[in-house]
Amino acid sequence: MEPHEQSSSPPIRHVELKAILLLTLVAALVTGFVLYVLYARGVFEDTQKLVLIADDSEGIAVGANLTFSGFPVGRVQRIELSKNGKAKIEVEVPVKDVHWLRTTSVFTLERGLVGGARLRAFTGNLDDPPLPDGAERAVLRGDATEQLPVLLATMRSVLDKIERMTAPDSDLNASLANLRVVSERMTGRYGALGGLLGGDENAKKVIDALDRSNALLASLGGVSAKLGRTLDKADARVFGAGGVMDETQQAITQLNAVLGDARASLKKADAVLAEAQKVGANTAAATEDLAALRAEVEASVRKVGSLIDEVNRKWPFKRDTELKLP
């Protein structure tokens, strides 16, 4: 239509001006877009560097945010493997936001079930010294999915156990069957007792035993009444007037008198003993004299013996060895 008829079509008013306007608009859009992107990517912001050291940088991409209380305060600029095998995440923090990060701040790397990993900063005390430029910090890891395998394994074992418990030949089913038998018995003539003892016959025996026990208790009641009467009598005999207790008291009084006499007798015996001691002492002295006397007698006897020997020697005709004591 228009273009190929341009040679014959009527001239369009200000066509070159309109074309220049459109070209200017394109140039303005391109320039504005480039400036917008540069501004949005933080090219015009003063930043400082923060290096986060993580065991694993999986899920973190260049351009990811470092958030503080849910607000982005930094952007991952570069990720590389350090010489010691750990991931080195370089984060650029705008200077206007750097006051949220302090030397005591803690950094975490969390992975959710949806979306990429999240870098988060926590600052306990905002009065601590500010984080220096180029600071290196370790990243703590918190991973929701990491616990999943463990959780699944645990769940599986739990489910296995439940399956075993609910199997037709399981202990639980057997117990329930037994319970049903017991409860059926409980609905019998003897109720819970029949259920507990395994049958009505046993329950009947127990009830008979109980009846007999009741009879026994009744007879025991009579016995205890007799015993009570006996005790009353005994009480009267023991504690009544002229009873055992009174006589016992008199006997104790007499015993006291006897004891007084005995004490006097003992004093006398003490005196006798003192005398006897003296006699003993004299006897000891006499005994010592006896020893001396005996020694003298022995000496005299030996002298007499030696004299007889002498006489015998001097009386040779007489061989009579009989000694005539004077």
Question: Residue 74 Cβ, how far from another protein at the closest point, in Å?
Answer: 11
| Among 35, 41, 189, 234, interactor with another protein by CB under 8 A | 41
Residue 42 engages another protein in binding (rule: CB under 8 A): yes
* Min dist. Cβ of residue 99 to another protein (A): 17
39 or 315: CB nearest another protein:
39
Check residue 285 for interaction with another protein (CB under 8 A): no
Binding of residue 95 to another protein (CB under 8 A): no
Give residues 21-40 in contact with another protein (rule: CB under 8 A).
22-23, 25-26, 29-30, 32-34, 36-37, 39-40
Residue 315 makes contact with another protein by CB under 8 A:
no
Burial degree of 50 (CB within 10 A; 0-12, 13-18, 19+): buried
Stretch that binds another protein, among 11-19, 173-181, 186-194, 299-307 (CB under 8 A): 11-19
Q: Indicate the angle between helix axes 244-314 and 200-239, nearest 10 degrees.
A: 70
Question: What number of other Cβ atoms are within 10 A of residue 137's Cβ?
Answer: 19
By CB under 8 A, residue 244 contacts another protein: no
Number of residues that bind another protein (CB under 8 A): 31
Tell me: does residue 19 bind another protein (CB under 8 A).
Answer: yes
Minimal CA–CA distance to 117: which of 170, 59, 173? 59
Q: Tokens 């341009």, residue?
A: 6
Decide: is 96 part of the binding site for another protein (CB under 8 A): no
Binding site for another protein (CB under 8 A): 1-4, 6, 12, 15-16, 18-20, 22-23, 25-26, 29-30, 32-34, 36-37, 39-42, 63, 65, 72, 114-115
